[in-house]
Amino acid sequence: MDLKRYQQAPTEVAAQLATDLENGLQPAEVKQRQSQYGANSLSEQKNTSLVQKFIGQFKDLMIMVLLVAAIVAAFAGEGVDTIIILLVVVLNAIFGVFQEAKAEQAITALKTMAAPQAHVIRAGTTHAVPASELVPGDVVLLEAGDIVPADLRLTQSASLRIDEAMLTGESIPVEKNTVALTTADLPLGDRTNLAFMNSNVTYGRGQGIVTGIGMDTEVGQIATMLTQAKVNETPLQANLRHLGKTLTWLILFIAIVVFIVGMLNHQHTWIDMLLVAIALAVAAIPEGLPAIVTITLALGTTRMAKQHALIRKLPAVETLGATEIIGSDKTGTLTQNKMTVEKYFVTNELFDSQTPLNADAEVLMDIMALNNDTKIIDDQLVGDPTETALISFNQQHHRPLKALFEKQKRVAEIPFDSERKLMTTVNSAGDAYLITVKGAPDQLLERVKYQLINGAEVPLTPANKADILAQNHLMATQALRVLAFAYRKATVMPTELTSQAVENDLVLVGLVGMIDPERPEVKAAVAAAKAAGIKPLMITGDHRDTAAAIAKRLGMLTADQTDAVITGAELYQLDEATFMQKVEQYVVYARVAPEHKVRIVKAWQAKGKVVAMTGDGVNDAPALKNADIGIAMGITGTEVSKGAADMVLADDNFATIISAVKEGRKVFANIQKAIQYLLSANLGEVLTLFIMTLMGWSILAPVHILWINLVTDTLPAIALGVEPAEKQVMQRQPRGRLANFLSNGVQGAILYQGLLEGFLTLGVYWLGITFPVHANDALAHADALTMAYVTLGLLQLVHAFSTKSVYQSVFTIGAFKNKFFNWAILIAAVLLSATVFIPGLNGLFHVTPLNLVQWGIIAMAAFLMIAVVEVVKLGQRHFGNKI
């Protein structure tokens, strides 16, 4: 579509498209153009097959590590472990396929929004045809209730108003005209002589020439942006990919070194050392990690659903916790998406809407109700948002509208039109008639002769007129939409229903200021976001003053932030380098187009920020898809926005986002705790086997390592995933894109805690060998090996308590608050000790019963594990790592 159509006169557009404004196209020309341009429909992205999606899931490096672990376990003869690992891999792939298939529904939903029928003039006759058959040059008729079937240059407009909120975000239907506009690069919302595909006609009627169909429309451009949007790797996916890659090379290196060292000692056969290397690889690979991550995310998803945040893609749970920027649409997201009376001006005074009504205000309320086309159907207000707001205002003050309508019935009217900006009704009032007029204050005041003050009709003085215009300006600067109301009494029915004959010698009653108000809970949510180090932005298609006023009321803007607001037209003028320099100063983006939203998201991402974008309209979908996490509205949101989003707010409540951010931060912290626990435990196992091999000692058998992994790496790690959030979680700065699972002190904790586990285990083994209970060397070595086996397993279970916080003491965060965790540790301890205490099992596991002294040594090692970690944490807190 030529973006300069709005600058051309209707006759110019008709000439360029070779069409007749009166008769439309001829049938033969329609067929030729259908062949040339194709159908008026949106093309869909070519989707991959389920098989391709399934195979694609195995490209993830951590999944490859799991497959290696399965092969290793199979070589070690551990069939059960092999089956479990492969089951985890397959389930993970199936879940990934399911999520990917759901994400491809956005374009399909966009396509279903198209108008099914269109009224078109062809060969001088009006026809109802499928909208898909329209071609450029067709002359289309519009009336209230229609869905605009294509992009149009309007040629006729009779009080035509079109709701374009789904494209522009503007809450008020746009008054349309046919006048050519001279300004270049106008935002969509200001192109008042155009009608856009899929928008809704709310009032009046009109006619227009089809200038764009299918993908060549504004909606089509959005569809194109959706198909071209790059699927961003989430921080979680990047972290797991990096961790998996690092572990793969590290495990391979350690296994080879252990195998070579063992062979050089000549104390073991190559088969024994191969089994040890395999056991070491299994010990080092946290094969339960993907399952633990998935379970933790799934549990987080369930908790979020209870708080009205519906997660469509699992990694979005964790991405929320990393969010640094939230770009939010205004209409329906930060505001209520309904016009509301906020102030009224009568008797030369300005009042808040809640103020009790005086006598003049009662007259004002009567005129609001009488000069109104709103219908009340099943207690619901149906009509233009501005007019329904006036009736709602009457209802809030408990006024008897039914009696008013019966007493003063409408007998005639002069409809609103965009040129004179007034609407007039004539109502019977007993033996007389009441003429009511509402409209733009500047237009109405030109027809006013009197003013109602304390029930008396007094002449309107220049001073009072100036005061009224000043009040109008004051409300306008507060982003209020202002209407003026007046009346005139007549003893006879007007014979000529024209503006010149009726709309004169009026009595001004007052002014009313309306706005789409902010949601009551959003101000606190914005404050909470700022406290959490998150920068909220407003990105809207609405006007600059309206957007800025709402942003100030919400606390997003302060009074002195004069350079923090930018319009789409101003954004057009900024080159990419300049915008990147200034992007951090902007808080409010007004009158923006869909491509602007994507540009804003990408600019912040280029700064290395994790960006969330909220929205409900079709115009939001490309930005939702390009953002690190797209958040759609569940109630007011279109299916297109929901299809492009990672998360849907079931209650359309901005505050729900902050609750979800808290949950996301908790999920990341819990995954981090599980990783700290698993990797420190695995490092302890690797160190134990490595040193035992170097020293030529008896080595823990593969069955020992595999059983320890089975009982300690599953339930306790999963239980860490459901730990309650730490108190300071929403006072911390966002961790951002560069942070990973090993940051914020976790890597150092893994290293020293893993080394501590290994050395304590080796120390217990050395004590068992040095101070044997049995004189027989074989029994002494068997006892020492049993003590090392039990110590290694028990240290991991005890250490699980320490990993509940990187820096905080286990005694202050509540060691036993998590009941699931307590049961997990207890079950794991029973399974571990059963291999020693149960006669049949200790033979299978090559372990021996221990006496009280030996158990005492093991208990001392467990105590030292807790004590040393607590002392280190105390030092860290003392030297600055307080959270």
Query: What CATH number is given to the structural domain containing 847?
Result: 1.20.1110.10
Which of 694 and 521 is assigned the larger pLDDT? 521
Beta strands in 267-420 (DSSP E): 309-311, 325-328, 340-346, 349-352, 375-377, 380-382, 410-417
Q: How far apart are CA 239 and CA 416, in angstroms?
A: 60
Predicted confidence (pLDDT) at residue 110 exceeds the cutoff of 50 = no
- CA dihedral (214, 626, 163, 43) in degrees, to 10, reads 10
Give tens-digit pLDDT for 546-591.
Answer: 888 889 999 999 888 878 999 988 998 899 999 999 999 999 998 8
Give alpha helix (H) positions in 104-145: 106-112
Q: Is residue 426 situated within a structural domain? A: yes
pLDDT tier for residue 94 given thresholds of 50, 70 and 90: low
Question: DSSP of 245-293, one letter per residue?
Answer: HHHHHHHHHHHHHHHHHHHHHTSS-HHHHHHHHHHHHHHHS-TTHHHHH
Q: Are residues 419 and 484 in the same domain?
A: yes
Q: Are residues 330 and 349 in the same domain?
A: no
> DSSP assignment, residue 323?
-
**Domain-ending residue, one of 652, 680, 715:** 652
Q: Are residues 331 and 345 in the same domain?
A: no
- 3 state SS of 631: strand
- Which pLDDT score is estimated for 111? 42
> DSSP assignment, residue 714?
S
Element (DSSP H or E) covering residue 317: helix 315-322
Q: How far apart are CA 723 and CA 670, in angstroms?
A: 7
Alpha-carbon torsion (494, 499, 505, 510), positive or negative: positive
Q: Are residues 705 and 645 in the same domain?
A: no
Burial of 591 (0-12, 13-18, 19+ CB in 10 A): buried
Q: Is residue 105 situated within a structural domain? A: no
- Which pLDDT score is estimated for 798? 93
Q: Are residues 532 and 589 in the same domain?
A: yes
Q: Which residues of 352-390 are buried (b: 16+ CB within 10 A; e: fewer)?
A: eeeeeeeebbebbbbbbbbbbbbeeeeeebebbbbbbbb
**Domain-ending residue, one of 627, 652, 677:** 652
- Which pLDDT score is estimated for 495? 86
Q: Is residue 71 situated within a structural domain? A: no
Q: Are residues 822 and 722 in the same domain?
A: yes
**Percent of the chain at pLDDT exceeding 70:** 84
Helix axes 289-306, 61-75, angle to 10 degrees: 130
Contact 192, 175 (CB under 8 A): yes
Q: What does pLDDT average to over the chain?
A: 83
Q: Is residue 12 situated within a structural domain? A: yes
Predicted confidence (pLDDT) at residue 100 exceeds the cutoff of 80 = no
Closest CA to 595 of 226, 69, 339, 847: 226
Closest CA to 98 of 232, 249, 298: 298
Token duo for residue 523: 């101000």
Token duo for residue 484: 């003026």
**Percent of the chain at pLDDT exceeding 90:** 35
Q: Are residues 545 and 608 in the same domain?
A: yes
**Domain-ending residue, one of 597, 632, 652:** 652
Predicted confidence (pLDDT) at residue 490 exceeds the cutoff of 70 = yes
pLDDT tier for residue 239 given thresholds of 50, 70 and 90: low
Number of domains into which the chain is organized:
4
Which of 791 and 882 is assigned the larger pLDDT? 791
Contact 479, 426 (CB under 8 A): no
pTM over 0.75: no
Closest CA to 533 of 610, 472, 445: 610
Q: Are residues 707 and 776 in the same domain?
A: yes
For residue 563, indicate whether it is catalytic.
Answer: no
- Which pLDDT score is estimated for 431? 85
> DSSP assignment, residue 700?
-
Closest CA to 282 of 870, 665, 709: 709
Domain that holds residue 194: 5-44+110-224
Q: Is residue 73 situated within a structural domain? A: no
Closest CA to 673 of 813, 793, 788, 791: 813
Predicted confidence (pLDDT) at residue 212 exceeds the cutoff of 70 = yes
Report CA-CA distances (Å) from 594 to 65, 327, 654: 41, 13, 21
Q: Are residues 593 and 708 in the same domain?
A: no
Question: Across residues 277-290, what is the average pLDDT?
Answer: 66
Least confident of 9-23, 35-49, 343-357: 35-49
The contacts of residue 592 (CB under 8 Å, 6+ apart) are 187, 539, 540, 541, 567, 568, 571, 600
Q: Are residues 584 and 691 in the same domain?
A: no
Give tens-digit pLDDT for 623-666.
Answer: 888 888 888 887 777 666 777 788 888 877 788 888 888 888 88
Q: How far apart are CA 844 and CA 708, in angstroms?
A: 14
- 3 state SS of 312: coil
- Which pLDDT score is estimated for 657? 87
Q: How far apart are CA 167 and CA 163, in angstroms?
A: 9
The contacts of residue 343 (CB under 8 Å, 6+ apart) are 350, 351, 352, 353, 475, 480, 512, 513
Q: Say which CATH number the domain at 613 has.
A: 3.40.50.1000
Q: How far apart are CA 754 and CA 683, in angstroms?
A: 5
Q: Say which CATH number the domain at 363 has.
A: 3.40.1110.10
Place of tokens 């080092």: 284
Question: Across residues 386-409, what is the average pLDDT?
Answer: 92
Question: Across residues 455-462, what is the average pLDDT?
Answer: 94
Q: Is residue 305 situated within a structural domain? A: no
Residue among 60, 190, 329, 646 flagged as catalytic: 329
Token duo for residue 108: 């399909």
Q: Quickly count: other Cβ atoms within 10 Å of residue 90's Cβ.
A: 13
- Which pLDDT score is estimated for 112? 45
- Which pLDDT score is estimated for 752? 92
- Which pLDDT score is estimated for 227? 61
- Which pLDDT score is estimated for 48? 62
Q: Are residues 648 and 678 in the same domain?
A: no
Q: Quickly count: other Cβ atoms within 10 Å of residue 325's Cβ.
A: 25
- CA dihedral (55, 59, 65, 68) in degrees, to 10, reads 50
Q: Is residue 234 situated within a structural domain? A: no
Going by their DSSP bridges, the two strands 481-490 and 432-439 should be labelled as: antiparallel
Q: Are residues 191 and 162 in the same domain?
A: yes
Predicted confidence (pLDDT) at residue 113 exceeds the cutoff of 50 = no
Q: Say which CATH number the domain at 39 has.
A: 2.70.150.10
Token duo for residue 770: 């040095």
Predicted confidence (pLDDT) at residue 139 exceeds the cutoff of 80 = yes
Least confident of 50-64, 249-263, 677-691: 50-64
Least confident of 94-98, 129-133, 761-765: 94-98
Question: DSSP of 417-455, one letter per residue?
Answer: ETTTTEEEEEEEETTEEEEEEEE-HHHHHTTEEEEEETT
Question: Across residues 316-329, what is the average pLDDT?
Answer: 84
Predicted confidence (pLDDT) at residue 430 exceeds the cutoff of 50 = yes
Place of tokens 């009504």: 357
Q: Is residue 295 situated within a structural domain? A: no
